[in-house]
Amino acid sequence: MMAKTGVFDGGPAARAAELKRELQRLVMTIVDREDEGDDDVSSVGTIDRAMETMCVLKELKKCKGGGGGGGCLKVTLTCPEEFRCPISKELMRDPVILATGQTYDRPFIQRWLKEGHRTCPQTQQVLSHTLLVPNLLVREMISQWCKTRGIQLPDPVQYSNEDGLTEADREYFLSLLNKMSSTLSDQKEAAKELRCLTKRIPSFRQLFGESLYAIPQLLTPLSQPQTQSDNCDTHPDLQEDVITTLLNLSIHDNNKKFVAETPMVISLLMDALRSGTIETRSNAAAALFTLSALDSNKALIGKSGALKPLIELLEEGHPLAMKDVASAIFNLCIIHENRARAVREGAVRVILEKILNGVHIDELLAILAILSSNPKAVEEMGEFGGVPCLLGIIRDSTCARNKENGIAILHTICFSDRNTWKAMREEENKYQTISQLAKNGTSRAKRKASGILERLNRAVNLTHTA
């Protein structure tokens, strides 16, 4: 009887020795039959078994030499092509069916999907969903094929679902999404549950990326024209739960792009900035902040007009929303075109007013620093009293970062608007604010302060010469 050619008892050396003995026996059988002129089907079968044994021995040698460890227990055999995973090219242990009908080994297609792909590796079709259905027929065929050859395959349960979700979890998730198109009471119940699940269980955030229709289903109560205003006014808790679920989804890195690009998401977040509970408004700002981590999303959000309601909420000044709003504006203004948009929407005036009132100085000063690359922003800083405000921060603040941002903004203003030189000279003569920073500030602050002093001194010398 042929020795088992798959999984053996004992260590790699014992398995290799048994394989060699089996190969030797098979080769001798082939030679003897050739000498006897026997070329029947059984002789051909013996040759196939010999080739199979050689393949197993070769794979075992690779594992032994490459430190494969547990990989040696998964020796790849010369199996029918339909039993091989199209991705790994290995015998499938846990075959599953993708949305396109193609079958893959679960661990390899899971890895493909977790890398952010939303297409079938074989057909390149866009997937309508990424739920994986066990292919029981192929599994049974592989099992029978292995059984006839003495090969033992790991039980499918050993291939645990990497996201930690069961099929029951997925079915429950789909049932919740279906409720979002049902009665108002079902919508409220499902929205609250989805909010909780996406907050507590990261795997549920991933589920939204497995279907093109999951987010549109989530948004159904808010996106229906005939009921949108009623739901927002009469049922603010429903809006709050939906918007907060979007925030939870946006935290997951692989979700950021498709969440932002899903139709209605940005416009509904903008609606939420203007209406609903203060928690809804704050969470809408936080969602825009997390989504804007991607540069492509920064451009998309900026073009959608989201800076206007963000600046309006900033001006309103509710303490619960301020930090999220400031973070969102800062992130969006990292790209040049959004800075011009923010200035057009009145960001400079609003920010200076908040800074003068001592509100979130750190965050708002950072935004002002990034806006200072815009000529119109610099002009408005001069008009709205930015120079004395910044000089006061540099003089009184104990935060090195704030001093640095303040002097960097003043440096830009100084070189753009000569009308500000007088205020700077008076500050320097009275408090030596700029000179102190040139000596004791951060390296960047020292450079900017020294540049301003040089400019002011040159202006004084020119005046005396004249």
What's the rounded Cα separation, in Å, for the pair 320 and 307? Answer: 18
pLDDT by residue (tens digit) across 88-132?
A: 878 888 899 998 999 999 888 888 887 778 889 999 888 877 777
Report which of 135, 208, 114 is spatially closest to residue 170, judged by C-alpha positions.
208
- Look at the chain and count its residues: 466
Report which of 210, 209, 169 is spatially closest to residue 193, judged by C-alpha positions.
169
- pLDDT band with cut points at 50, 70 and 90 for residue 27: confident
Q: Is the pLDDT of residue 261 over 70?
A: yes
What's the rounded Cα separation, in Å, for the pair 257 and 301? Answer: 11
Buried-exposed string 155-171: b where 16+ CB fall within 10 A, e elsewhere: eeeeeebebebeeebbe
Q: Span 245-264, mean pLDDT?
A: 93
Q: What is the pLDDT of residue 288?
A: 98
Q: Is the pLDDT of residue 439 over 50?
A: yes
Q: Span 291-311, mean pLDDT?
A: 97
Q: How high is the mean pLDDT of the chain?
A: 83
Q: What is the pLDDT of residue 156?
A: 56
The two three-digit tokens of residue 69, written as one number: 């460890």
Across the strands, what pairs with 170?
A: none
What's the rounded Cα separation, in Å, for the pair 105 and 87? Answer: 8
Main-chain dihedrals φ then ψ at residue 211, nearest 5 degrees = -145, 140
Q: Note if the pTM is more than 0.85.
A: no
The two three-digit tokens of residue 80, written as one number: 């029918």
Across the strands, what pairs with 95?
A: 105
What's the rounded Cα separation, in Å, for the pair 72 and 57? Answer: 11
Report which of 4, 337, 319 is spatially closest to residue 147, judged by C-alpha positions.
4
Q: Is the pLDDT of residue 324 over 70?
A: yes
Say which residue, 70 or 438, is predicted with more confidence. Answer: 438
User: Among 217-226, 235-244, 293-302, 303-312, which is the least confidently predicted range?
Assistant: 217-226
